[in-house]
Amino acid sequence: MKKIIVAGGAGFIGSHLVDRLLTRQDIETLVVVDNLWTGEISNLAHIRDQRLKIEIHDIETFQTDVKFDEVYHLASPAAPQIYSSEPVRTIAANVLGAMRLREIMKDGGTFCYVSTSEVYGDPLVSPQPEDYRGSVDCTGPRSSYDEGKRCTEAFLFECHRVYGMKIKVIRPFNVYGPRTKPDDGRAVSNFVTQALTGKPITVYGSGNQSRSWGYISDIIEGMKRYFWRDGIDFCGPLNIGNNREIPVLKVAEYVAALVPGSEIIFLPPPPQDPTNRCPDLTLGQRILPGWTCGIPYEEGIKLTMKWFAESIDIQNSNEALFTHLRENGLLAQSAV
């Protein structure tokens, strides 16, 4: 039976991963370590499984006598407005977090790291294969995240090369879905919550910049197959994402069309906002045959909107809007 630790397990992706891990029967304990910087304890509140233990702590200074068979490192903010406002903490969570996790991993254990497509920076080739080295400004305003993730990858690949540590590294592309925080500042969560609360939908820059939007359940399915289900012996890095690249403005317009009365406004772009991003999935198709991000953004946004609509404080909401959402299947009948 396995002992597992998930750093960042109360976060958006982390909590969905914990749900999926707990469907395994070969796990004795699953320890979540999360300092709740961007994670939420409510993301785990539905779990009734005695194997789950939650520790509210920074991963980089987490103390334990236990050694773990599998380590999952997701302890990092992912929203530019959050990581760029606390860069030291962002670098520490990724790099020092990885170093601490290595110390508490059993010899022969597996270190699974959720890196990011941001390692490609503002890419000059499209789509981006895993061997593309990226176009990142190591002194720029996104560097704490981009270079923090890149340094953590460097740390893990060197541990693999020099000490034979077993590692698995994925690079997810713009993941969205239920349990993103309404105030986390990311595109889909911003657009959906803005529309639902009658605020203008904020497009930064022209909106022509594009991303490849990956719905959470597709991403988690890829992670499950790669990290544990299929017995894969490949250290990565592996792109995980939806390779349908869509401009930000198109996403905003789609959200606006779902919610009558929505207005789109244009605001200045954040510094060094990447112009494009799209995963090359050639390697993914070889390593994970049969896996695909099958949920298109149109459907994923409706599912996300439904979740937000059910979570937002509806006392303050517009009843006509919620009637519209219910009638269009965007809100459960039971949510008044």
Burial of 6 (0-12, 13-18, 19+ CB in 10 A): buried
Q: Cβ distance 11 to 74 under 8 Å? A: yes
CA distance 244 to 268: 25
Q: Which residue, chain included where needed, has tokens 């790099």?
A: 95
Q: Is 145 a catalytic residue?
A: yes
Residue 126 lies near ligand UDP (rule: CB under 6 A):
no
Q: Write out the binding residues for ligand UDP, residues 199-218 only, by CB under 6 A.
A: 202-204, 209, 211
Q: Cβ distance 104 to 68 under 8 Å? A: yes
- With respect to ligand UDP, which residue has the nearer C-beta, 165 or 187? 187
**Which range touches ligand UDP (CB under 6 A), out of 91-99, 149-157, 184-192, 257-265?**
184-192
Nearest Cα to 7, choosing from 30, 33, 26, 28? 33
Instruction: Out of 72, 113, 120, 145, pick the active-site residue.
Output: 145
Strands (E), the chain: 2-7, 27-34, 52-56, 68-73, 105-114, 166-172, 175-176, 201-204, 210-212, 214-215, 238-240, 245-247, 264-267
Exactly one of 80, 148, 222, 300 binds ligand UDP (CB under 6 A); that residue is: 80
Q: Write out the binding residues for ligand UDP, residues 283-312 only, by CB under 6 A.
A: none
- With respect to ligand UDP, which residue has the nearer C-beta, 209 or 239? 209
- With respect to ligand UDP, which residue has the nearer C-beta, 202 or 217? 202
Residue 187 lies near ligand UDP (rule: CB under 6 A):
yes
Minimum separation from the CB atom of position 245 to ligand UDP (A): 12
Residue 84 lies near ligand UDP (rule: CB under 6 A):
no
For residue 146, the number of C-alpha atoms closer than 13 Å in the C-beta half-sphere is: 22
Catalytic residues: 145
Q: Which residues bind ligand UDP (CB under 6 A)?
A: 79-80, 174, 186-187, 190, 202-204, 209, 211, 248, 269-270, 273
